Structure 1
Amino acid sequence: MPGTTSPSVPRWVASPPTKEALDWAELPVIDFSKANTLEGRAELAPRVRDVMRTVGFMCIVNHGLTHSQTERMFDIGDVVFSQVPEEEKIKFSSKLKEEGTRIGYKPRELFVTDNGVRDQYEQYAVHRTVFGRQKHPKALETYLPEVRVFAEHNHRDVLQNILRLLALGMEIPEETFVKMHGFDAVGDSHVRWIKYFPLTEEDEVKTNHVWLRGHTDTGTVTILYSQPISALQIQSPDHKWRWVKHIDNALVVNIGESMEMLSGGFYKATIHRVVQPPADQRGLIRLGMYYFALADDDVKLVPVDSPVLEEGIRVSEDETGLTMEELRKIRYRAFGLKEANMEAGGEEHIVENGIVVLKYYN
């Protein structure tokens, strides 16, 4: 990570944490310094297994970056929004509709949230290889070597150890899921920054103060760098929405649809949403930083062979199943772009060829 000779970068000044008394989710905190050894992973695996089968979210501390290193990556993330002209952002737009990929810029107001209201967030996604898959705006070029180191840290030091813990929880070889997430393989795992802007009061009412509808992630594992503006809510096992509390320099980790499929439902994709911040943080711009992990494009999303799965759930490798690339393209082209149908119970779904490809949870 950056040292004393790193190029200067404008500071992103984060908001103080909220002082509001919110209904906080009780997320287990995992000390990840233990995840670097076989003995440490054996100790952590049962707890991670139980957490990711029930709550579905966990917080990770001691993940290998200092507070100042994490802050600097937030600073660099802000550069791609505040230091890049709009016409240049258009030049580096993601090919979301054409190729079903999030790599590049997503402008504000591309997606419909609810009642015809357009979203108010922009994002920039950097493919994990940084240099090989895409070109970047000029303002970011100075910092690309640091972004590459950051991407590798997330992939090799954080993600791979999470995948090992998930495999141990299923009593299978710990490299099982790691082998499906090659850093240099063809796939879409990426660093992403998202910048949320406040909605108008009228649109807040129309959307019931929800900025990003309840959903599950497409990939296998999502890594969120905790930031102080409270807006993320998770659907707890009792189906109530609860706020995720900021922990300084911590990671918030959840399971996506692909891991649910690979694990035969042993691990559940977790439902979450983004809402208007509490009263003492309203009107502020919220900057998020993430690592979205997806399996390699050619991985078939069928259950692994595990003794913890019932016989009827196990599927052999030659069984027909969607590949990661196929699922990614289907869901990315649908989210916020295609009209959903209302189900009983308040859920909305998008159906293609008789298959539910995406659900929103209200």
Structure 2
Amino acid sequence: METLEVPHVRHYEAAPPTTADLEWADLPTVDLLLARTPEGMDELTKIVKTAMRVHGFLYVINHGLTPEQNARMFDIADIPFSGATDADKQTYLAPMKESGSYQGYKPRQYWHIDSGVKDEIETYSINRDVTKREHPEVLRPFLPEISAFAKFNHFHVLHPLLRLFARAVDLPEDAFVNIHGYDAVGETYVRSMKYYPRSEEDEKKVQQVWLKGHTDIGTVTILWSQPVSALQVLSPNNTWRWVKHVPNALVVNAGDALEFLSGGRLRATIHRVRQPPPDQRGRERLGIFYFAMADDDVVIAPMVPNEEKSSRFTAENVMTMAEWRQARTRAYGHTKLVRNEREKGVEEEVINGVLVRHYN
């Protein structure tokens, strides 16, 4: 990432990693150093092909950001929450219901989780083009760094991964890159996300689930690993396994749009967030994400033969990236879900003709 003259920021101190004996997911690792040679790309393609069929999640290492730069970005990520006033947060609310956009603040207790309990998650999302809208004054000195961070994620992490994903489904290497333009109209963004502890009474009502099992809206989600254990992935044997913190690594998964585009060969993985283990309870959990979406005008129809023969990939429900993200954003956490009587803990809704499932 490019070096900039930077203003002072208060250091964010995260909780130490858990020492709890948890059932960890055995996720494969993509070493981006290998992407520099044809032989390395061949090796990584095999890893990605297996990872996206079996796990849907993977770690990425050797991406090029130093641990010190990583820590600096977490310091900046906390500013929208600890540095902004309540008035700022109201002024810069995201127009989720109005236009299906996450740009700005999502306040706490906006989504319904279960049994009348709402979320305790606060987010602030910034379009990769940081000039798209205004931001709280306290964050403005840091916009050049956030912009550089977005470009780093886009060109040095997302694009190499998209090339690997394309190779994994036998498409030309730049097939997915070409529909993820940095300067195109779209909603790819950097998101800061803070989970706050809640009462034990509410924890019991929702069985310790902070964010119920779901798939992501876009194509690729890049999570910068942080030490509070809460993320779980639904494994192929239908059990929830914890995602372990790996310092200065990335946790990457495919979203719905990439599953659509790949005809189901790159699956959008079901994951959830739950209460951390006992030695980390009572601590906030701060995350940084790069949520990638195809350009708004891209039709998210299969670019390869549809192997899955699923109702999620039909000619009747083809839509653009903009239509899909707007519909999912408006609906999430607000629509009435229908319980699936055949599968315990599964709730469903239909959005723009596509079956969307939630897991609890």
Structure-2 change in CA distance of 1:93 and 1:310 (3 Å): closer
| 2:167 match | 168
1-structure distance, mates of 2:308, 2:225: 39
| 2:261 match | 262
| DSSP 3-state at the match of 1:98 | helix
Report if the CA contact (8 A) 2:209-2:273 is conserved.
Answer: yes
Q: Which amino acid aligns with 1:360?
A: H
| DSSP 3-state at the match of 1:333 | helix
Residue 36 (structure 1) shift: 3.7
| DSSP 3-state at the match of 2:273 | strand
| DSSP 3-state at the match of 2:117 | coil
| 2:61 match | 61
- The Cα offsets for residues 5-49 of structure 1, whole Å up to 9 and x where unpaired, read as 421110001111000000111111221112244443222111111
Q: Which amino acid aligns with 2:233?
A: I
Residue 3 (structure 1) shift: 4.5
Q: Which amino acid aligns with 1:195?
A: K
| 1:333 match | 330
Report if the CA contact (8 A) 2:32-2:63 is conserved.
Answer: yes
- The Cα offsets for residues 82-121 of structure 1, whole Å up to 9 and x where unpaired, read as 0000111111110000000111100101111111101101
| 1:70 match | 70
Residue 249 (structure 1) shift: 0.4
Residue 183 (structure 1) shift: 0.6
| 1:119 match | 119
| 1:358 match | 356
Structure-2 change in CA distance of 1:116 and 1:64 (3 Å): same
Residue 339 (structure 1) shift: 1.6
- The Cα offsets for residues 142-200 of structure 1, whole Å up to 9 and x where unpaired, read as 11101000000101110011000000111111000001111111111100010000111
Structure-2 change in CA distance of 1:116 and 1:45 (3 Å): same
Q: Which runs of 4+ in 1 moved over 6 A?
A: none
1-structure distance, mates of 2:3, 2:67: 13
Q: Do structure 1's residue 287 and structure 2's residue 251 form an aligned pair?
A: no
| 2:339 match | 342
Structure-2 change in CA distance of 1:311 and 1:206 (3 Å): closer
2-structure distance, mates of 1:148, 1:267: 29
Report if the CA contact (8 A) 1:36-1:161 is conserved.
Answer: no
Identity among equivalent positions (%) equals 49
2-structure distance, mates of 1:23, 1:312: 33
2-structure distance, mates of 1:331, 1:319: 18
Residue 246 (structure 1) shift: 0.5
| 1:26 match | 26
| DSSP 3-state at the match of 1:301 | coil
2-structure distance, mates of 1:12, 1:202: 29
Q: Which amino acid aligns with 1:332?
A: T
| 2:82 match | 82
Question: Normalising by the residue count of structure 2, what TM-score does the alignment of the two structures yield?
Answer: 0.95
| 2:215 match | 216
| DSSP 3-state at the match of 1:110 | coil
Report if the CA contact (8 A) 2:263-2:304 is conserved.
Answer: no
Q: Which amino acid aligns with 2:196?
A: F
Residue 218 (structure 1) shift: 0.7
Structure-2 change in CA distance of 1:129 and 1:210 (3 Å): same
| 1:106 match | 106
Report if the CA contact (8 A) 2:264-2:308 is conserved.
Answer: no
| DSSP 3-state at the match of 2:167 | helix
Question: Normalising by the residue count of structure 1, what TM-score does the alignment of the two structures yield?
Answer: 0.94
Worse-matched range after superposition: 39-48 or 65-74 = 39-48
1-structure distance, mates of 2:308, 2:267: 19
1-structure distance, mates of 2:4, 2:180: 33
2-structure distance, mates of 1:208, 1:261: 32
Structure 2: gaps spanning 5 or more residues: none
Q: Which amino acid aligns with 2:318?
A: G
2-structure distance, mates of 1:153, 1:70: 12
| DSSP 3-state at the match of 1:97 | helix
Q: Which amino acid aligns with 2:44?
A: L
2-structure distance, mates of 1:312, 1:121: 36
| 1:159 match | 158
Structure-2 change in CA distance of 1:80 and 1:162 (3 Å): same
Matched length: 356
| 2:243 match | 244
- The Cα offsets for residues 56-107 of structure 1, whole Å up to 9 and x where unpaired, read as 1000111110001011000000011100001111111100000001111001
Report if the CA contact (8 A) 1:331-1:358 is conserved.
Answer: no
| 1:182 match | 181
